[in-house]
Structure 1
């Protein structure tokens, strides 16, 4: 009977009132109100929630500023508790995602492999380690964590391919908040690996960190498959899914990979043909084809951001240092970076736009590379700011140079 009442209320409630009720319930969760109490109100006044409503909540408005791992974990756990069993199925969602090679099929196939790793290895080896922290058990757990860090590719494809298109449709919540949790999980795996690699007898520290990873990875799988992917399937066009599938290879896959290429029922999307027109510049004339090849043969990565902070171009050389996909084109640069580093980007752009700086340099270790990253404020003949050029180079070969070379090899 209560279910019938809730369903009638669901249909009868004024949409504006319903949205306000949902936002208040979420605010209650964020303010620390008892989850069971909020859940009871949710069941009584909302009953079921649609993917469209979840997208419209814009969680980013409710989670502002810096927030601790513990607090974000609490809030997201509360969200999951609220949604479980309450999300309405939508029969209008089409079915190509069940076909091998479709990006959602690949994401879900990876999730099954991740679950197997968690259940059949990580949990088992953690229990053995809890009983005896022997060198063998430490190594088994470390090996599992190394395997699990392959999840970075899964999250990177989600962040760089799925999130940009969601933003295109005005859905920003996952970009900020799900990305934060992804980063917390990455950090958790790294910390577990560090504790195990330099084990000093802190058994409880290792157990807590691995348990955090186990819990958060499992919760993320639920959020992806019950919220994120249905949200994307309801909004993205077939062409967009084709582009996502094509660009996934550049980032890579987690623990498994597609066994075949996804081909929609309609004709395959034609590649964009490049115009053979010519561009006349002050110091020469090049065809568009020549210009693109020239830029792609430079031994550096180049990205250009316009005066509105929108990514307009990136070069596509043979060995990119940082993954870039075509989905970033037209996206603000702030949404191309993890939330915890956005303030650095904004500070840099503020200095360029004000004229305080014209350049800024960084140098970091990235795997086996020593990467030199340079930023240049691009200004026109009237000294007006028109954008920022990012110039990234692996300088290991340069640092290794000695003496002189005056003849051909």
Structure 2
């Protein structure tokens, strides 16, 4: 027994030492040490690195709070150069689920292939043509390319709203913090490039600069997904969880290509828990659970409820939701359902509700073809105790268009 304990302690010590070396290597990179020297040090003292070690490294940097978001982005972007070809392969005892047509990871990889093809055979080629001559034709070709690349938002949204919540469930927070931030940088850069092309006034270098940044960052994200995120997710998520992800992916949509097939794992189909037919007695009436669910889903608004601990507990599921929601967010903190750059707004609003400073807040925005009215209400019990927040979202375009009067049924 003592031999087993000693071996375990030795392994723990070695793991801790490796993490310490890795952290120092990234700090050296941040401080400007030569990349080749860092790579040589990495090869000499680390060699192969596991997905768990990458995750631990990212988590430690975030927890320590010793670097800013911009600095973290810089360090994170060095991963591709340092880890290229050095990530230790994990054995899959039950085959490779990601090779099964329709499996979420299989679909993600198909999308990455299409995105990579778009980058290399179109965007990069047309960018080189623009560098030679900024003709109207070359501008238009790039505009078409960047419009296609906008579709990557669906790829990132599925990753952020379907895979990240399950990783968090297993205590893995690095991708949520780091990848989502970089995804947003990419989204912003794509939109910026599109804007510059749509209103081109001869500033060729500005267009080339932003599109080269897009190509570099998107290619880097493909590498990070396929060598870090997907192996990490495959190692931790259960088959039932992958089934749920596959089932809910349609709601967000796919990037440039559809799944190769409907994924049907070789086991009994996932049995979703049936809705109870019990009744709920309320102050002003009695409804069955089925009636209550149908009633809420037929309201011409979207409703989301967050409890007193900031955990998402419910959202209505109407025919035409304004903002995508998936069942994976249930049980997830609302802070982790928003991009990192907007979390401070969410926390400030919730703090005002909890303290009693505010009872409601409202916003209105243009979103796609809708004019969206978003309202938040502090929910309190009969004693005034805060028990959660209600989000109430409505497309008010039809209401704004109302004129005159309608008094009888037409």
Instruction: Report if TM-score (shorter chain) is over 0.5.
Output: yes
Who is 1:141 aligned against?
A: 142
Who is 2:18 aligned against?
A: 18
Moved more, 10-19 or 50-59: 10-19
Q: Report the TM-score, using the length of structure 1 for normalisation.
A: 0.94
Contact 2:278 2:288 in 1 (8 A): yes
Structure 1 position 28 matched with structure 2 position 21: no
Alignment of 1:4-403 (within 5 A): 14-57=14-57, 58=59, 59-61=61-63, 67-68=69-70, 71=71, 73-92=73-92, 94-403=95-404
**Residue aligned with 1:21, SS:** helix
1:382 Cα deviation after fit: 1.0
Deviation per CA, 1:333-374, whole angstroms, max 9, x where unpaired?
000000110010010011011110010001111011010000
Moved more, 219-228 or 73-82: 73-82
Contact 1:27 1:62 in 2 (8 A): no
Q: Using the alignment, how far apart are the partners of 1:36 and 1:62 within structure 2?
A: 27
Q: Using the alignment, how far apart are the partners of 1:29 and 1:301 within structure 2?
A: 47
**Residue aligned with 1:54, SS:** helix
Contact 1:60 1:172 in 2 (8 A): no
1:14 Cα deviation after fit: 1.9
1:38 Cα deviation after fit: 2.4
Gaps of 5+ in 2: 1-9
1:53–1:65 distance in 2 versus 1, CA, 3 Å: closer
Contact 2:379 2:389 in 1 (8 A): yes
Deviation per CA, 1:158-205, whole angstroms, max 9, x where unpaired?
000010000001000110110011000000100000000000110000
1:64–1:339 distance in 2 versus 1, CA, 3 Å: farther
Contact 1:101 1:261 in 2 (8 A): yes
**Residue aligned with 1:123, SS:** helix
1:50–1:326 distance in 2 versus 1, CA, 3 Å: same
1:12 Cα deviation after fit: 10
Contact 2:26 2:75 in 1 (8 A): no
Q: Using the alignment, how far apart are the partners of 1:122 and 1:66 within structure 2?
A: 32
Deviation per CA, 1:134-181, whole angstroms, max 9, x where unpaired?
111111100100000100000000000010000001000110110011
**Residue aligned with 1:390, SS:** strand
**Residue aligned with 1:404, SS:** coil
Contact 2:305 2:312 in 1 (8 A): yes
Contact 2:101 2:261 in 1 (8 A): yes
**Residue aligned with 2:77, SS:** helix
